[in-house]
Amino acid sequence: MATPSAAFEALMNGVTSWDVPEDAVPCELLLIGEASFPVMLNDMGQVLIAASSYGRGRLVVVSHEDYLVEAQLTPFLLNAVGWLCSSPGAPVGVHPSLAPLAKILEGSGVEAKLEPEVKDSLGVYCIDAYNETMTEKLVKFMKHGGGLLIGGQAWDWANQGDDERVLFTFPGNLVTSVAGIYFTDNKGDTSFCKVSKKMPKTPVLVR
């Protein structure tokens, strides 16, 4: 496994700005564990994109699923898929909920196909954080060397349900927590997010 700083550089290669959609309010990500590291922070130190490793695989987490279908973020999305794929040339599977992402990747020469289920033949799988049926398969996929690109936010989900324990019950957290990254019900602020050349340091969140 490459060092987090080398991984950060690979993920940020050629990314000059965070042109995120203003109407997509993200959530703050909580990082724990040795392997997880921040990729995008705002000026208040909130983590909005993070990455980690688990088993033989890798994980990139973005704090709103709309970021995964945003053409302005193509340089970062291509870097993410490239970094996540441990077997060069293996196809990228995209869950139908993120269909525009398959078009973005294909338009840049990446072999991407819509796949409602994660399969061992894929190098990378991309999915939103609201799927409740594939938790075990996604964790196993990462453990055996697959790369997972996952996006969502938990504040809106938390507002709709009775369960306060977002860290333990939000569907995405059942997957990403194995690699030390959690979606929280804190809203993230995107009014000022600068692109760092070096891996940013994260404040430790204490709840």
Q: What amino acid occupies position 100?
A: P
Are the CB atoms for 145 and 53 separated by under 8 Å? no
Q: Which of these, 105, 43, 55, lies nearest to 78 by C-alpha position?
A: 105
For residue 206, what pLDDT band results from cuts at 50, 70 and 90?
A: very low
105 has a pLDDT exceeding 80: yes
For residue 10, what pLDDT band results from cuts at 50, 70 and 90?
A: very high
Spatial separation of the C-alpha atoms in residues 147 and 110, rounded to whole Å: 15
Average pLDDT over residues 105-118: 96
pTM: 0.94
pLDDT at residue 56, rounded to an integer: 96
| Bridge partners (DSSP) listed for residue 38 | 50
